[in-house]
Amino acid sequence: MEATQLHPRPNMDHWSERVDLAAAFRWTARLNLHEAVSNHFSLAVNDDGTQFLMNRNQVHFSRIKASDLLLLDANDPDTLNGPDAPDATAWGLHGALHRLCPHARCAMHVHSIHATVLASLADSQLPPIDQNSAMFFNRYVIDDSYGGLAFEEEGERCARLFDDPKKRVMIMGNHGIMVIGRTAAETFNRMYFFERAAETYIRALQTGQPLRELSDEIAEKTAREIEEYDEQDVRHLAELKAILDDEGSDYAS
């Protein structure tokens, strides 16, 4: 069955982007990478990245539908005054990202267990001990200045840490992670593999045995090869949508 038959387009703009983001929400819940109703994803839909889709306030990831997503403008100072205003911390963090970081087309913030454990360590570096962790070699930034809930001032401080477009994961010390990318598929794929890499590292530490770290040369080579591996992220999300479709999920409604 063709995708257009599976996902009939209602009278809404940015429908394919809505469907992709809704699928990412559903699968993030299935993997238990979310936290209650406290995490948020956003996806820019205009050229300069300032208009974006985001989940509604206090809705569980497992219930989010494509048609539910809010369409917000990062430059609208009245956003929090409307009848369907987003969560104030989500607006502070994601609004700042889409206003200040045009390369952050998609942003996914979670408090996933192993990434948050990593963010809670005095040394939150992720050493390249396997292929997944090598994927992030020199490609993350660590925020070691947590300042409380991410209202607008804190959100802007965090957004400015993404000044290097090569670094697309923020290990938010004492908080969680923020992952950015060009599309929902790319960003979800990156978030998934970062959590897996963090889990491998945390479990390796628990053995108490010395770690076998890759050389900088091999780690960088591996990261570059994964970046150039065509369509892995697209196929990953496509397969997840196919599973949801087979199950009769209403995510694309």
Task: Give the relative orientation of helices 232-246 and 15-30 as an angle to the nearest 10 degrees.
Answer: 80
On the question of pLDDT at 122 being above 60, the answer is yes
Task: Identify the weakest region by mean pLDDT among 22-26, 78-82, 133-137, 182-186.
Answer: 78-82
pLDDT in the model for residue 3: 47
pLDDT in the model for residue 169: 98
pLDDT in the model for residue 8: 63
pLDDT in the model for residue 151: 84
Tell me how many domains the chain contains: 1
On the question of pLDDT at 5 being above 80, the answer is no
pLDDT in the model for residue 45: 98
| Residue 252 forms part of a structural domain | no
| Residue 107 forms part of a structural domain | yes
CA-based nearest residue to 33, from 231, 190, 167: 190
Question: Which tens digit of pLDDT belongs to each residue from 194-241?
Answer: 999 999 999 999 999 999 999 999 999 999 999 999 899 999 999 999
Question: Which tens digit of pLDDT belongs to each residue from 152-201?
Answer: 888 999 999 999 999 999 999 999 999 999 999 999 999 999 999 999 99
CA-based nearest residue to 42, from 192, 211, 228, 188: 188
Overall average pLDDT of the 96-115 stretch: 97
| Residue 251 forms part of a structural domain | no
Residue 60: Cβ within 10 Å count = 12
On the question of pLDDT at 63 being above 80, the answer is yes
How far apart CA 213 and CA 21 sit, in angstroms, is: 35
3-state helix, strand, coil in the chain (%, to 5): 45, 15, 45
Please report, for the domain that includes residue 183, its CATH number: 3.40.225.10
| Residue 130 forms part of a structural domain | yes
On the question of pLDDT at 2 being above 80, the answer is no
Domain span at 145 = 3-246
pLDDT in the model for residue 149: 82
Which residue's entry shows tokens 């998934």?
192
